[in-house]
Amino acid sequence: MPEPIDELIEPSWLIPVEPHGVVLEDHAVAVSGENIVGILPRQEALERYAPASRISLPEHVLIPGLVNLHTHAAMALMRGIADDLPLMTWLKDHIWPAEARHVSAAFVRDGTLLACAEMLRGGITCFNDMYFFPEAAAEAARSLGMRAVLGLVVIEFPTAYAVDADDYISKGLAVRDRLRTDPLLSFCLAPHAPYTVSDATFERIVTLAAQLDLPIHIHIHETRAEIEESLRLHGQRPLARLHRLGLLGPGLIGVHAAHLDAAEIRLLAKYDCCIAHCPTSNMKLGSGIAPVIAKLEHGLRIGLGTDGAASNNRLDLFQEMRHASLLAKAVSGSAAAFDAHTALRMATLNGAAALGLDRRIGSIQVGKAADLCAIRLDAPETRPCFNPVSHLVYAAGREHVSHVWVNGVLRVENGLLQGCDTAQLLDTVNLWQNKLSA
């Protein structure tokens, strides 16, 4: 008697990510509830299972849902607000003043909803956020059924959200306590950067991370100016300061890390830290090109992030995969330096592992959650297709995403976002644009 299941997904190609480098043809994925219960040849699947629904994807590749390892989701409302400026000018003269005038729980909810709509339509099923009012971000993510890792942001100066570091920590932990049982939500401690956080606050964060088993999500070595300022104020480079204060370890997610010397790369590898590589933001802000090949050679774990839409200006991991690979090839002088399978792994399983979620998401394996993404490869720009993994990185884009599942629930069907009144969302965004332009 065939086993009843909820869904049988039947793509042309299936890329599980783990094992690495594998491409399966004429296979099917069986889903029951929120979990993957079978991965097997399609004909065997049809004999073994009685699905309530069959989804035929005859010209598609099925991959794990993409994991955006670093973003500021609510900043989608600031997309294009101050382009073509250096990082600190952009922050001090434009972004921070705009945030001081406008950021609120409503701003974060609406901005995160806009970001989630963009990310889901582009195959991103999980994002690691760093911004104010995390409970409002959670509300937005939950409304669209998206998986989110909420950064409990910490800085020293006051904002509309909190008055000082202790207040940020207190409010963040209270949000965690209220939402910690939600199956689609998890949390990081998110000290913004070495130049906005004191030694005393870092020491407290180290203690809390150990007590609560939370990752630490922090910008690090994004620009040369940041490093020079740290040498002036602290007498050491930012990474050395974090090392002295005890932050380095498997739970550290260092964002950008565009300017590392050989000793610093070895240090990060020694402590099994993870890097959130954001190539497009680094290029757009003129921050530099991260030494990715050297990091890989030393065994550093690297995931991919978009950064915020204010500095990218897209929340698009297909773009990040392409840029990461092409930049690495150009800088190294080796076309073989960074292959397509490596790029896809960075956009999926590596990001999940950095967040402590790799037992649940990041690859297509029996027992894991059905966080999945299907991409059509039947358009003129994606034909012929000799290698679907190569196409994902070098030819296809988020516009080719057709179906997206999160925790077994179909959130994008035939390119259409489910459960979202897009017209109403855009009306809300227009209101915020008028406020920000005033």
Say whether domain 66-354 belongs to CATH 3.40.47.10.
no
My answer on whether omega of the bond before 11 falls inside 30° of 0, hence cis, is no
Does position 412 have pLDDT exceeding 90, yes or no?
A: yes
Structure tokens of 201? 């606050």
Residue pair 137/109 in contact by the 8 Å Cβ criterion: yes
Does position 103 have pLDDT exceeding 90, yes or no?
A: yes
In which band, very low, low, confident or very high, does the pLDDT at 269 lie, cut at 50, 70 and 90? very high
Residues 49-83: pLDDT tens digits?
999 999 999 999 999 999 999 999 999 999 999 89
pLDDT confidence of residue 438: 78
Percent of the chain with pLDDT over 70: 100
* Distance between CA atoms of residues 20 and 17, nearest Å: 5
Residues 239-255: pLDDT tens digits?
999 999 999 999 999 99
Residues 315-337: pLDDT tens digits?
999 999 999 999 999 999 999 99
Structure tokens of 10? 């039947």
The chain-wide mean pLDDT, for the chain, equals 97
The domain limits of the chain are: 3-64+368-417, 66-354
pLDDT confidence of residue 90: 86
* CATH superfamily to which 3-64+368-417 belongs: Urease, subunit C, domain 1 (2.30.40.10)
In which band, very low, low, confident or very high, does the pLDDT at 1 lie, cut at 50, 70 and 90? confident
Percent of the chain with pLDDT over 90: 97
Residue pair 374/402 in contact by the 8 Å Cβ criterion: yes
Does position 340 have pLDDT exceeding 90, yes or no?
A: yes
96-122 average pLDDT score: 96
pLDDT confidence of residue 172: 98
pLDDT confidence of residue 118: 98
Q: What is the end-to-end Cα distance of the chain in Å, rounded?
A: 66
Residues 351-381: pLDDT tens digits?
999 999 999 999 999 999 999 999 999 999 9
Q: Which pairs from 295-299 meet CB under 8 Å and 24+ separation?
A: 295/257, 295/260, 295/265, 295/268, 295/269, 296/338, 296/342, 298/265, 298/266, 298/268, 298/269, 299/269
* Cβ atoms within 10 Å, residue 282: 24
pLDDT confidence of residue 87: 80
pLDDT confidence of residue 301: 96
Residues 173-219: pLDDT tens digits?
999 999 999 999 999 999 999 999 999 999 999 999 999 999 999 99
Residues 38-53: pLDDT tens digits?
999 999 999 999 999 9
In which band, very low, low, confident or very high, does the pLDDT at 86 lie, cut at 50, 70 and 90? confident
In which band, very low, low, confident or very high, does the pLDDT at 126 lie, cut at 50, 70 and 90? very high
* 0.95 exceeded by pTM: yes
My answer on whether omega of the bond before 434 falls inside 30° of 0, hence cis, is no
* Cβ atoms within 10 Å, residue 250: 13
Structure tokens of 274? 């993870």
